[in-house]
Amino acid sequence: MQAPDINAIRKMIEYYEEDNRNFKQQAEEGIAYYRNENKILRTGAAAIDEVNAYLKKLGKNPLKSADNRIPTNWHRIFTDQKTGYLFTYPPQFDTDSDSEDTEIVDKIKEALGDDYEKVIKQLGTDASNAGRAWLHYWYQKGEPFEYYFIDPLEIIPIYDNQNVKKPLKYLIRRYNFVDYTGASKQRYELWDSNQVCYLERLSSNHDIEFEVLPNGRYNIESHTYGEIPFIEFPNNDARLNDLQMYKGLIDAVDKLISGFANDIDDIQEIIWVIRNYAGEVMETAYDKDGNEVEVSIDLRQKLKAKKFALVDEKGGIDALRNEIPYEARGRFLDILTEQLYISAMAVNPNPEQTGNATGTYIEFLYSLLELKGGLMELEFRPALNQLIRAILKYCDLPEDTKIEQKWTRNKPRNDLEISQIIAQTPSSVLSDETKTKEHPLVENWKTERERVEKQIDEARQNMMDQWQDEIPLIQKPGDEK
């Protein structure tokens, strides 16, 4: 197999690493806020860094300047709310009810295995934090179908801009790696629809080179997937993370709460104003040998130690304390919190109306979250279809088999209302199969339909047996005795 031009690969990687810088910065910021590593941890509340720098420049700290840095985990709350709303009940796959190929669904479920719920939830989290998530699949004939999520910071996609649909043309995966010799390096994978090249860079001072196997050959492998085996799951059509919608509001809340905590700490400190007192600068003290020495006075320490100060008839002492504008801050926090739920398109867990809410009110309460979740579902559906086609190819099944996706939202519902609607809808409008599908007590509608049909058959058979016992058999002519 002929190796590609290494110089061309170097230029391509260098160009797209620079082109991917803005996305990487956005993704790192989203992941950091998801871990509650907010900006407040680096900057502190307003003017605190400047105050402390000034005090440090003086060489002493006449007052305690509190520096609380309290991050709030709003971004994680909003992200987990959306992923829980969409993926607590992960999307299920089904064929047309009239199709005879129902075993296809069983093979798809078998290929997805036990990791499906975890993977799809993590894809939703990665997409919300970074703007897009990535899934990698691989398989060999005779071996299980494998797939897993990939850290979005590792992936650099290269799209075919000449195609209006902008399909994936190449893909670069970059990560740290320890080779068989124990050497630590940065490894690159360059994928196209036919092969993957493994490259390496020992350090930032070294050029990218082909990875060499123990037999001396370049580590270049061909594959038969027919496409790059990485699937992109965008958060939205612009591939922006959710944090961009409300980051400024989170930072404002962090500053407000941290500043409030600073005031609580600082109010314990008192500034003493001594009237008609020019101030002593030196006083007499004694060293360890009993000799008199002149030492400088720290007035703050002297007041703290003696708890009093001597002044003449013209002097006096006033205490200045900091006042905390609690009501203004409380109102400002309420405004920020209200706007946060709107900007994040999230559901406030403490609505004004609670209890056995009607279905209409629940739909209204979840309207913004449904809008945001629906946009993610719109982007995830084609990606899941691509995964299903890969599984069908692995199973040697027709790739054009029509597979339906069923998404179930995790939200409160009024089961009584739904049950009443189903019961009041005539069979001429809604089939029994659809009624079973939509009933709130049914989890697996196919299994439930089988149970219903079995129950009907048993009831019919019992009725026939009962009739045979009660109605005498018709005697044939000539059978009379």
pLDDT-derived band of residue 291, with 50, 70 and 90 as boundaries?
Answer: confident
Tokens for 64, please give them. Answer: 């305690």
Residue 48 pLDDT = 58
| Of the listed ranges 123-127, 148-152, 258-262, the one predicted with least confidence | 258-262
Parallel/antiparallel/unpaired status of strands 132-138 and 146-150: antiparallel
Per-residue H/E/C for 130-144: HCEEEEEEECCCCCC
Q: State the average pLDDT over residues 113-138.
A: 97
pTM exceeding 0.85: no
Higher pLDDT, 296 or 233: 233
Residue 480 pLDDT = 53
Q: What are phi and psi of 394, to 5 degrees?
A: -60, -35
Q: What's the pLDDT tens digit per position in 392-441? A: 999 999 988 889 999 999 987 767 777 878 888 888 888 888 888 778 77
Q: What's the pLDDT tens digit per position in 54-66? A: 655 555 544 556 7
pLDDT-derived band of residue 327, with 50, 70 and 90 as boundaries?
Answer: confident
